[in-house]
């Protein structure tokens, strides 16, 4: 309950603020802020969807928080946070050659978190547009799996690949449960 209360206060404050502007002394600072914001807000959105009835918002607060998270999950594009982009037609080549113009986070952990947050909250709110945003994130992330079944963004991480790869069964299980709930 105390954890929910803390998140209630955070979400209440965020819902009343203007959009976050990533500021930093360098591009890497802005990138890191964008990465952290995406991971944090998407994770909170999924938690909020699962424990929705445990949050004690009045009607106007509930509406503001729902709209804030909905709008963020639908409109937040990774290019705003400094991410490069996946060229899906060249994905294997770009990953294997370690193309410097390619950013693994565009199709990596953040993309999976956005998929979970948007899918779960879309189902909770019965919001088709938000659910579709989740599907869009799933499409981008699964498109980064090569023809041999290797998830390239995490395989590219070398020695750290195993610590990342362990996330995939968890994420896919969460998504399978969400999709199963709607047939």
For the record, the structure tokens of 172 come out as 């896919």
Give the pLDDT score at 116. 96
> Helix, strand or coil for residue 18?
coil
Give the pLDDT score at 46. 96
Please, which residues bridge with residue 151 across strands?
Answer: 145
| pLDDT tens sequence across 94-130 | 666 655 555 666 677 888 999 999 999 999 999 999 9
Instruction: Note the pTM of the prediction, 2 decimals.
Output: 0.85
Q: Are 147 and 93 in contact (CB under 8 A)?
A: no
Q: Answer with the residue of higher pLDDT: 93 or 151.
A: 151
CA distances from 22 to 7, 51, 116, 130 (A): 22, 29, 23, 24
């Amino acid at each position: 309950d105390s954890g929910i209360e803390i998140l209630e206060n955070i979400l209440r404050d965020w819902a009343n603020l203007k959009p976050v502007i990533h500021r930093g002394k360098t591009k890497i600072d802005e990138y890191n802020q964008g990465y952290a914001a995406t991971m944090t807000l998407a994770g909170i959105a999924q938690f909020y969807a699962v424990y929705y009835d445990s949050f004690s918002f009045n009607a106007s607060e509930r509406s503001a928080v729902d709209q804030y998270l909905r709008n963020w999950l639908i409109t937040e594009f990774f290019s705003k946070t400094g991410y490069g982009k996946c060229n899906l037609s060249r994905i294997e080549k770009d990953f294997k050659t370690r193309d410097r113009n390619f950013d693994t986070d565009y199709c990596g952990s953040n993309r999976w978190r956005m998929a979970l947050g948007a899918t779960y909250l879309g189902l909770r709110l019965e919001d088709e547009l938000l659910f579709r945003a989740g599907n869009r994130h799933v499409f981008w992330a699964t498109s980064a799996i090569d023809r041999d079944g290797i998830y390239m963004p995490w395989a590219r991480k070398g020695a750290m690949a195993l610590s990342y790869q362990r996330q995939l069964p968890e994420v896919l299980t969460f998504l399978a449960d969400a999709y199963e709930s709607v047939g």
